[in-house]
Amino acid sequence: MAKKIVSDLKVKDKKVLIRVDFNVPMKNGVITDDTRIRAALPTIQYVIDNGGKAIVFSHLGRVKCADDVKKNDIAPVAKRLEELINKPVKFVNATRGKELEDAAKELKSGEILMFQNTRYEDYDAALDKETKKESKNDPELGKYWASLGDVFVNDAFGTAHRAAASNVGIASNVSETAAGFLLEKEIKFIGGAVDNPVRPYVAILGGSKVSDKIGVIEALLEKADKVLVGGAMMFTFLKAEGYNVGASRCEEQEFVDLAKNLLAKANGKIVLPVDAMVNKAFEDTKGTAKAVDGFAADDMGLDIGPKTLEVFAKELAGAKTVVWNGPMGVFEMKNYAAGTVGVCDLLAKLTKEGASTIIGGGDSAAAAEQLGYASKVSHISTGGGASLEYLEGKELPGIKCVDDK
């Protein structure tokens, strides 16, 4: 069922509650990457351009103690939003109370109000106790925040896999809800890959652990035509195939057995690396390409090898839908970034050929951003855990709570 989008709402003169994902990395109170703020700008801009009163809010980090309150003050994020949108942003240093209520009432059409970190509601300062009112969807809190506005727009995909007071709680207490433009893209691309992929449909999985991605692997074996495996998780699969993986990172036996079962179930759909870049230590020094059947006891695999990239290129040739989650190696080390860069290149080429290419959040998204490929693929997801659960085909509370068209 298609969901309502912010552009379906009549926002003129209405107080529009906008849940965004401004959970940005910060160091000593300074934002080190404002990508998530930029990603939410189209939705906020649409609301104010159309005469709405934008009430913007987000979580930032986890708040379990008094130190977390100081560390995760969202005021610098409000300041950065003001700079990016080139319009004043009134900031209220509270998550409830008279100051916030008055600011919401006094807000004029075309203006922006932002309030403090929603996760402050997860900690009771008076009792010095974690309460999790926001993250566990306290009914009273959701109702209170809903009372500040007229309609609700959810544009925070990163938290869509969790029912919280700031998404499901608010949606349950307002007359109309819609997805923001960013959430709309996630529904279109990842939801499309799950529900109705254009074939051939190829999935690429990397990262460190099979155990982290059991659900998504099983779901992709049902949906995808091929599943290409790289990253450290490849060694768990290779060990399941009977290969000696040397000193490479490999999960314990129960997950090796699980990988063996997945390979049997896959019936040829899973494609494993044929070589890897190895080193004798976990360090950024030049490695050696070795076939997967030629590892010495002290060889540590840190990236897929050049022959594997050739295999992957053949498997991806002609693909119409490609989903990638998890880097191919330790891309932070320049000597072991070639596999991840190579996959980025393959996706960029397929995008030019008209394929739908989707990077499913987390480390692979970070890699694509850092390596300069963000504009060369169809979509980079803003969610980590949310992306994985959506790829599994799970119904996400933050999407379910949005009204259908």
Question: Catalytic positions, please?
Answer: 36, 209, 362, 385
Residue type, 72: N
With tokens 């989650």, the residue in question is 325
For residue 123, CA distances in Å to 65, 100, 104, 126, 302 come to 7, 19, 24, 9, 41
With tokens 């080390």, the residue in question is: 333
Alpha helices, H only, 50-180? 66-71, 75-85, 98-106, 139-146, 170-171
| Cα 3 from Cα 140, distance rounded (Å) | 26
- Environment class of residue 211 by beta-carbon count within 10 Å: exposed (0-12), middle (13-18) or buried (19+)? middle
Residue 125's Cβ-side half-sphere holds a number of Cα atoms within 13 Å equal to 9
Q: How many residues does the chain have?
A: 405
Residue (of 280, 300, 316) closest to 203 by Cα position: 316
